[in-house]
Structure 1
Amino acid sequence: MNETTREADERRARSHRARLLSVLRVQYPDALADRGYRLLHPTTGDPYTGDRRHLVATCRGVANFAVGALADGPDWCLDAAEHGLRFLREAHRADDGGYRLVVDADGDPVDRTRSAYGHAFVLLAYARAVDAGIEGAAADLEATRALIDERFRDDRGLLRSDCDADWTEREPYRGQNANMHACEAFLAAHEATGEERDLERARRVAEAIAVDLAAETDGLLWEHYTADWEHDFAYNADEPRHQFRPPGYQPGHHAEWAKLLALIDRYEGGEAASGGSTPEWYRRARELFDAAVDRGWAENGFVYTHAADGSPIVADRYGWALAEAIGASAALAERAAARGDADEADRFREWHRRFLVRTDLFRGPAGVWYEKRLPAAADGDLVAQDPPGVEPDYHPAGAFFEGWRSARGALPEP
């Protein structure tokens, strides 16, 4: 590594750490309620009214502050993560060990759904807490891993669908989104514990969703499946703006999977100099990234969904998709450099730069990101998320965390 590249990576690492801590400083302390977290409005910075707390938002808040601690942030990062963990355990967790989807500020259940997607984030929250050194989180991580195995994993080793409070499955549905976040959570658990079983579970999910099933759709990632893991192309076809399960292909999820596959490549030690492991994860990650930008990038963000031919279905630009592309391009630049692929490393760094300069299109006056931008024009109307909401700037925080550690990973050991 020449000195110029080393200095550039050092600057990138410092810049991304500063961006991460800036996101968290906007949240702290205003996002902390007496119990749990509150979402902040991107225009005013005021907490949302109402007392409903969503499981995903609670877990994402814990993960946010925990990665702040991992990046050597101020002491309040750890305090804020522990604050959220208490609410996760005391309010969301039911007597049977499962987690309620929505509760009020007192911990009384509003929606007792046992969400596969939500439980993936429970696993992520505990994994990040373990990695940050929070006392007692290791036992919760182990219990959540066992719960997912018992209640959600199907015969293929993937997550099944949402359940009622008695664990009766609600519909014969399988979704890539819950499984993508399960892969993310297993990778975080591997980072926290070093256990091979977590990496193996992440690989199994990734291979099934991002390789095997995608081979049936020309390499693109479909969102919805039957209980037998057959593509369900008709699912929600009449609800193109469904909040969580829209029809079509999502460029943001292609970028998100590109990041996850790059991480698997990293943890399998794929490096050109040592021979490493098979380059298939790296190759597939590049394909998914290229699919995201080729079909979805519109300079002011990514279109939300598109058809197989690339024509937009919903052209709204969501902030989370841009954030995931920031993390993906950082991780892929690191993997390309590790493999001695200098041209590709430069290409991903250029994409990374292009994405970063677009963040101002989504960040509100209070410093919090809007949910989306409507596509009527390059500076279309901005839309904040509806309460109770699930996005406490988790995607931007994760993007800058990945940018920080990817840049650090490109440096030689001191």
Structure 2
Amino acid sequence: MNIYRTRAGLRHQFRDVLNFYYPDCLDTAVGGYVAQLDERDGHVYDTQTRHLVATARGVHNFSLGVLADGPHWCRYAAEHGLQFLSSAHWDDDRQGYDWLLEGRTPTDRTRYCYGHAFVLLAAARALQAGIPGARGELERADRVLEDRFWDSEYELYADQASSEWDLAAYRGQNANMHVCEALLAASEATGEPRFLERAYTVANRFTRDVTQATDGLLWEHYTADWEPDLSYNEDSPRHQFRPPGYQPGHHAEWAKLLALLADHRSEPWLLERARELFDAAVDLGWDDEYGGLYYTVDADGEPIVADKYGWVHTEAIGASALLSRTDDDYLEWYDRLWEHARDHLINPRYGNWYERLTRTHERDGPNHGPAVEPGYHPLTNCWLAMRVLEEAPAAFDSGRC
């Protein structure tokens, strides 16, 4: 039996990830989180860098810890991070969130929609958890996204701007996906219908309309008028944030979001498209020889970057858990993904997830850098699986293993 079909197994994994980061991630001198912990043994390799996304994800993670009745220190840790997010990262003169800090000093004030989306997500989860100041932060992040990034002509979000709010021409899938995620969380936290309506609009526009140009697959990079830029970064296949190709992980992630939207909307296309996108993720991305999902592929499923990323597999786990509520076939993928993660991607000593492995599941480096992944993906998808187990326990019935 897959232990991750049980509450105990999921909670154990959830707490392992939280415990890996706490208390070493808290900085009581500078403030905020030290997110740069070595994934092998947890030692801190950078005490000063503060990345907007890492800060926001930390607030989100510890807020989920509160919501999931996790360790008692989750509330303090969430409060600690939210205070830093709302003060050090916020640029009151230019009304936006700074991307990168050294201590409390801004070193990169580029305005990324992606980063602002994570602030909205963090504030929404913090509001659900009852963290002081969360509502004000949610309203502020929502206002910036609406006033600065929303493009009413295309009904999608722009991607980035200078510190003075000059918009770049580039448009991207990833920012819109994470705004959709944040809007869903804001809807849950506030009960305001407008958040759900906007999430639906973005999902409909991107996963149905925009993808018509690429035969239903999710391309990552676009021009200012939302035409696929198929040559974008074609000479940089390992670009950290904007690689070329199709990403199986993002197909699974959108499948997850559509399945969540289907909990609130009755349109049949939501679950139909969610299944299509998940099926595309595993059909194109699964490595039949070594197991696991590739990072990027071409339209025929040939790998461009064959590395195996932890976040890709956690998103597929969350999507398969949600889809299993209406189709037993997705339980097979849920079990297979957890098996692969247990064998290769989860640190056997601490329970945190490795960021990246080679195709044959070897670690090719320390995976250090300012833009780290502080447990947001495994925590989010463990939490979703726990919700499925609690709300629809028959979906994980061990008799169907």
TM-score by length of structure 1 reads: 0.89
Structure 2: give runs of 5+ residues left out of the alignment: 395-401
1:194 to 191, 197, 211: 191
Change (3 A) 1:77 1:50: closer
**TM-score w.r.t. length of structure 2:** 0.92
Kindly provide the amino acid, as one letter, of the partner of residue 159 in structure 1: Y
Retained in 2: the 8 A contact 1:37–1:58? Answer: yes
- Aligned pairs for 1:210-289 (under 5 A) are 210-268=207-265, 277-289=266-278
After the TM superposition, which residues 49-198 of structure 1 pair with which residues of structure 2 at under 5 Å, given as runs? 49-95=46-92, 96-105=94-103, 107-155=104-152, 156-169=154-167, 171-198=168-195
**How far does residue 22 in structure 1 lie from its aligned partner after superposition?**
1.9
The farther-off stretch of 14-23 and 282-291 is: 14-23
Deviation digits for residues 5-58 of structure 1, max 9, x if unmatched?
Answer: xxx999633432332122111211111122111121111211122411110000
Determine the structure 1 residue equivalent to 2:302: 311
Q: What is the one-letter code of the residue matched to 1:18? A: H
Deviation at 1:389, TM superposition (A): 2.3
SS in 1 for 2:88: helix
* CA distance 1:259–1:406, shift in 2 (3 Å): same
Q: Is 1:362 paired with 2:360?
A: no
Q: Which piece of structure 1 moves more, 176-185 or 400-409?
A: 400-409
| One-letter amino acid matched to 1:356 | W
Q: Distance in 2 between matches of 1:395 and 1:57?
A: 12
Residue identity in the other structure for 2:256:
K
Q: Which letter maps to 2:337?
A: F
- 2:27 paired with 1:36: no
Of 321, 326, 332, 1:330 maps to 321
Contact 1:362/1:382, CA 8 A, preserved across alignment: no
Kept after mapping to 1: 8 A contact 2:66/2:129: yes
Q: What's the RMSD between the two structures over aligned residues?
A: 1.8
What is the alpha-carbon distance in structure 2 between the residues aligned to residue 22 and residue 90 of structure 1? 30
Structure 1 pair 252/10, CA: closer, same or farther in 2 (3 Å)? Answer: closer
Distance 2:375 2:225 in 1: 35
Letter in 1 for 2:101: V
Contact 2:16 2:350 in 1 (8 A): no
- Deviation, 1:384, is 3.7
Contact 1:332–1:348 (Cα < 8 Å) also in 2 = yes
Partner AA of 1:373 in structure 2: L
2:12 paired residue number: 18
Query: Which among 309, 312, 316 is matched to residue 321 of structure 1?
Result: 312
Give the aligned residue type for 1:246: P
Aligned CA distance change for structure 1 residues 10 and 226 (closer, same or farther; 3 Å): closer
Cα deviation code 1:293-325 (max 9, x no counterpart): 011012532111111111111111111101101
Report if the CA contact (8 A) 2:252-2:316 is conserved.
yes
Question: Once the 2 structures are TM-superposed, how far is the Cα of residue 382 of structure 1 from its aligned partner?
Answer: 4.5
Helix, strand or coil at the partner of 1:308? coil
1:371 and 1:11, CA in 2 relative to 1: closer, same or farther beyond 3 A? closer
Name the CA shift for 1:382/1:64 in 2 (closer, same or farther; >3 Å): farther
Q: CA deviation at 1:223?
A: 0.4
Q: Distance in 2 between matches of 1:150 and 1:251?
A: 32
Amino acid at match of 1:23: V
- Aligned residue type for 1:48: Y
3-state DSSP of counterpart to 2:272: helix
| One-letter amino acid of the structure 1 residue matched with residue 16 of structure 2 | S
1:165 match: secondary structure: coil
Q: Would you say the 8 A contact 1:372–1:384 is kept in 2?
A: no
Partner of 2:386: 404
String of CA shifts for 1:266-318, please: whole Å, max 9, x gaps. Answer: 122xxxxxxxx222100100000000001101253211111111111111111
Moved over 4 A (4+): 8-11
Identity of aligned residues (%): 52
Distance of 1:196 and 1:43 partners within structure 2: 43
Given that 2:99 and 2:115 are in contact with CA atoms closer than 8 Å, whether structure 1 keeps it comes out as yes
Correspondence for 2:398: none
- CA gap 1:10/1:177 in 2 versus in 1, 3 angstroms: closer
Specify whether residues 134 and 219 from structure 1 end up closer, same or farther in structure 2 by C-alpha distance, changes over 3 A only: same
1:207 matched residue in structure 2: 204
Q: 1:224 to 1:356 in 2, by over 3 A?
A: same
Q: Which residue of 1 aligns with 2:286?
A: 297
How far did residue 408 of structure 1 move? 1.2
Separation in structure 1 between the aligned mates of residue 257 and residue 3 of structure 2, nearest angstrom = 21
AA aligned opposite 2:161? C
